[in-house]
Structure formats: structure tokens, C-alpha cells
Structure 1
Amino acid sequence: MSETTPKIRIRGLYKSFGNKLVLDGVDLDVMPGTSMVVIGGSGSGKSVLLKCVLGLLEPDDGLIEIDGVNLARLPRQEREEMRARIGMLFQNGALFDSLSVWENVAFGLLARRKLPRAEARARANSFLEQVGLAASVGDLSPAELSGGMQKRVALARAIAAHPDIMFFDEPTTGLDPIMGAVIDGLIVDCVKSLGSTAVAITHDMASARRIGDQAAMLHHGRIIWHGPASHLMDSGNPEVDQFTHGRREGPIQMELRR
């Protein structure tokens, strides 16, 4: 793989549900070692885009490459191994209620790598420490944790397999502004320490600017703008500017009135 080869390359990605066209020819490149944030309104297809890359949904058409390799052309086992290199932080944490916190963090190590429980527990303690939680938290159940603590545990689980790609689905949803900033800081630190490539989808513009190096906006199933995350608030694109500033009037609302 050359230095100019995108870590993730998406071309002409289409996905429909019945008569509803959600992804309408998405093109997107994410370069190695960078953090990309994808913004867009509710129902714009952000989560569907991530699920297509993860293999949770099958695209109707289009190309998805990781490190220059077309996932669709790989044998199933190799495709699953490629996707196993991706860590995922789900919007609601998606922790297993029936498992303790440490078992949640070490779930992949226990299920896929078949590590002895003692070794898996020691590693889980280390990952909990990386997200600012004491090892004693590992004995608790997810239901005993606050929302912010659950997000930290979910982040610890996402980094446990040392992924070289990380996905974050609305990482600050449900958190107060201070805890949101804490989680964003932990995400940036973890991504940098792993040397990973990251993709986050979010409605939170403060979060987008804290996490992202690059940003893209998804609107009507297409990427309509791409640029530095630092330019999100002054992109010069009418749709992006309306969205990022939360303006009631603008081209997006006029389209909704049809």
C-alpha cells in the first residue's frame, strides 16, 4: 500500500430500503492515520454508511476498499478477518447486560482469541485504566454505571483488539457538555496511541471539531462537502453552513417543505 492509498475508499455506494434510497452514490476517501467526521441530518444515511463498511448491511452497488483491497472480492473468511481490524463504539454503548464490565471489555479477546480468563481480565484492567476507570469497576454490571462510564467502557472494548480502524457512532449522544468533551478527549488519545484511522458520525459540532482532522457532510445520500474539520463553521457551502449553525431558514428546510 502506497502512502497515497486511502485507508478506506468508497466509490458509488448505493443502498435502498424498499422505495427509500438512503445512499445515492457515496464517494469518500479516508487517509491513513487521519480522523474523519461525517455530519448530516437524521435519516441522511450516516449509520447506514458505517454499517455497509462493517458488513452489517450489504450495499446494492458500489465499491468499498480497505488498504486498496476490494472487500467484495475477498473470500468470506478473509473479508471477516479484514473487518475484524475495525473497532466500533456504538451510539448507545451496546454493552452486554448479562456480562460484567471487564467481561464486556474483554469480550473479543475471550471469544475470538480464546485467551485464558485471568489474562483477559488483566488486559481488561489495562484498557479500563486507559479510559480513566479503576480496575474495581470491572466487577460491576453495566446497569450500575452512569452514561458517561458506560461510554468509557464501550471505548475500552473498542480499543481492546488494537484495531487499525475505529468507528464512532454519535459518541457524545446523551452526555452533558463536559462529559462529552471528556469522551472526545479520550477518543483522540486512544486513536493517536494506537495510530489508528478513525471515522465518526455526529450531530455535535463541538465534538466534530474536537475529534476530526477532516469532515464531510452527507445530504440526500451523497457527500456534498468535504474539507478540514476546522472549517465546518465557515465552509462556504449553504447546506453545511445552515446545518452547522443550526439555522431554521435555508436550503435544507426549503427542500423539506416540498
Structure 2
Amino acid sequence: MTAAPVPKIRIRGLTKAFGPKRVLDGIDLDVPTGTSFVIIGGSGSGKSVLLRCILGLIEPDSGVIEIDGENVLTANAARREVLIERIGMLFQNGALFDSLPVWENVSFGLLAKRGRGNRITRAEARTRAATFLSQVGLDPSVGDLSPSELSGGMQKRVGLARAIASRPEILFFDEPTTGLDPIMGAVIDGLIVDCVKKLGSTAIAITHDMASARRIGDEAAMLYRGKLIWQGRAADLMDSGNPMVDQFTHGRREGPISMELRR
């Protein structure tokens, strides 16, 4: 019998609490290599915390996070850094550095590796930045502008160019269409799909935009109160057969999900 392939990302029993609030409550998740995986859920459901745990920005309380079968949480600091460097990230609000021109934003990660055996000159970094800007539909001349001179859609494209600049094996997308009009949202989603396919990367996106989720996802899951309550094909999100998922994806006021009021 042939052994099942090792998932690119494997999560078991992941928990995280902030004070009395349990944000992640025993998450089990497998993301196969080359899959584009979408996680949906309302505000406060734990989506961003889950991504931050995988990235090493937040230390979970318990559980296992593996990349290609290697536990990130038990690796030493140097090895963990090597594992995390295999991930590219498109942040929700772009997270561009206002003090740097666009080309230097795009090549920031490449330049940051100069002292660790991956030397690259600023001239080489600028040339590579122009290449990646072209891949996301921007003229290389945009590289000379500052982020403040760009529209929201252009900033998202620059953020995507930066995410793919190191040719990562894994790509994370945090609410990639937030703040964009429907047409620009579709453009960004198309670019994400193209970039993921070109790189052959494994991707995880978190979003509450159902059109975006179906455009970029192969598989999908829904988080609710820190638990994965459904997993299936992204194409089935609007007809999942799960009452909670159906209420969320169709935006219905009535259903098993009730809004929690803060006191």
C-alpha cells in the first residue's frame, strides 16, 4: 500500500487563548502541496490568529504545526527561521514601507538576506523588482514611485509582487480584496491565481469575500468560535449543506449563527 503524501502544511490540536477568550480551539487541518486553500469566517473567528501562528508571529498554547512533515514549533530558532522563509505573505492593508520606493518594497526580503549567503546587489534587486512588478500588471516605472502615490489596487499589486519576489513555496493572503471595488477585487484574485500557478506554490487565503473565495480556492474551510466546522470544495461554499456555512455565505440575518454583543 502506497503511503499517503505528506501535506505541505499539517496542523493538529492547535489552541490559542487570550485571557479567558479561546480563539483557536483544537484546530486540525491538512493543506496538500499545490493546493489553494481558503479559510472563511466572521470577525473574531480566529482566521488571522491561525495565520500568525503558522508564521511564527504568535506562539500557540498547544498543538503541532508542520511544514513538509517538520514541526515548526519544536524547531530551534535558526531552523524555524529557515522554514518560515519559505512563506510569502500578502498583508490585508498592503503593509508597504512609506519611507521606501516601490522597487525597494518589492525586493525588501531579497535585500534582507544579503548577510546570510544569498548576496544580491541593489542593482540586481531593482532589476528583479521590475520583473515582479510586470508579473502583477504594473509598469516597471512604478518602482520609482512611493507607496503614497499609488491607488489602493496598485498597492495590493505591489504587496503581491513583494510576496512572490522570493519565489516562496507557500503563499498566505490576508483578506486580499478588502477595500477594493468588485472589478479590482476580481483583477487581484486573477493575479493571485496566476502567480500561485506560475510558482507552483501552496496557498492559504483568509477572507469573508465569497466571490473571492470561490475564484482563488480549490478547497475551503470555515472557522466559527475557534473551531473548523466545515471543510470541502471552494466551489461548494454557496451550497455546502451546513446551516452555519450557508447562513454566513449567503449573509442571512436569521440562522444558527447569532451576533455576539460586547459589554
Identify the TM-score tier after normalising by the shorter chain.
over 0.9
Other-structure match for 1:16: 17
Shift of 1:256: 3.7
Other-structure match for 1:174: 179
Other-structure match for 2:85: 84
Other-structure match for 1:241: 246
Unaligned 5+ segments in structure 2 are none
Other-structure match for 2:105: 104
Secondary structure of the 2:65 match is strand
Does residue 252 in structure 1 map to residue 253 in structure 2?
no
Other-structure match for 2:42: 41
Shift of 1:73: 2.2
Unaligned 5+ segments in structure 1 are none
Identify the range of structure 1 (183-192 vs 110-119) with the bigger mean alpha-carbon deviation: 110-119
Shift of 1:89: 0.2
Quote the Cα distance in structure 1 between the aligned partners of 2:192 and 2:85: 19
Secondary structure of the 2:11 match is strand
Shift of 1:13: 0.5
Quote the Cα distance in structure 1 between the aligned partners of 2:177 and 2:132: 20
Secondary structure of the 2:23 match is strand
Quote the Cα distance in structure 1 between the aligned partners of 2:94 and 2:175: 10
Quote the Cα distance in structure 1 between the aligned partners of 2:208 and 2:255: 18
Amino acid at match of 2:113: R
Identify the range of structure 1 (188-197 vs 111-120) with the bigger mean alpha-carbon deviation: 111-120
Shift of 1:3: 6.0
- Counting only pairs closer than 5 Å after superposition, residues 58-207 of structure 1 correspond to structure 2 as 58-113=59-114, 114-207=119-212
Identify the range of structure 1 (13-22 vs 152-161) with the bigger mean alpha-carbon deviation: 13-22
Quote the Cα distance in structure 2 between the aligned partners of 1:246 and 1:98: 40
Of 197, 216, 234 in structure 2, the residue corresponding to residue 211 of structure 1 is 216
Structure (1/2) with the larger helix percentage: 1
Secondary structure of the 1:168 match is strand
Quote the Cα distance in structure 2 between the aligned partners of 1:172 and 1:95: 16
- CA RMSD of superposed structures (Å): 1.3
Quote the Cα distance in structure 2 between the aligned partners of 1:72 and 1:102: 33
Other-structure match for 2:7: 6
TM-score in terms of structure 1 length: 0.97
Secondary structure of the 1:51 match is helix
Shift of 1:75: 1.6
Q: Following TM superposition, where does structure 1 have runs of at least 4 consecutive aligned residues deviating by more than 6 angstroms?
A: none
Shift of 1:10: 0.5
TM-score in terms of structure 2 length: 0.95
Quote the Cα distance in structure 2 between the aligned partners of 1:72 and 1:38: 22
Residue identity over aligned pairs, in percent, reads: 75
Quote the Cα distance in structure 2 between the aligned partners of 1:93 and 1:27: 29
Quote the Cα distance in structure 2 between the aligned partners of 1:210 and 1:236: 20
Secondary structure of the 1:252 match is coil
Identify the range of structure 1 (51-60 vs 65-74) with the bigger mean alpha-carbon deviation: 65-74
Residues 26-74 of structure 1: CA distance to partner in whole angstroms, max 9, x if unpaired?
Answer: 1111000000000000000000000000000000000000001111221
Quote the Cα distance in structure 2 between the aligned partners of 1:59 and 1:224: 20
Quote the Cα distance in structure 1 between the aligned partners of 2:231 and 2:86: 26
Quote the Cα distance in structure 2 between the aligned partners of 1:235 and 1:143: 41
Amino acid at match of 2:192: I
Amino acid at match of 2:112: A
Of 231, 254, 258 in structure 1, the residue corresponding to residue 236 of structure 2 is 231
Amino acid at match of 1:232: L
Quote the Cα distance in structure 2 between the aligned partners of 1:6 and 1:205: 25
**Count of matched residue positions in the alignment of Structure 1 and Structure 2:** 256
Residues 236-255 of structure 1: CA distance to partner in whole angstroms, max 9, x if unpaired?
Answer: 000000000000000002x7
Quote the Cα distance in structure 2 between the aligned partners of 1:19 and 1:43: 14
Quote the Cα distance in structure 1 between the aligned partners of 2:161 and 2:205: 16
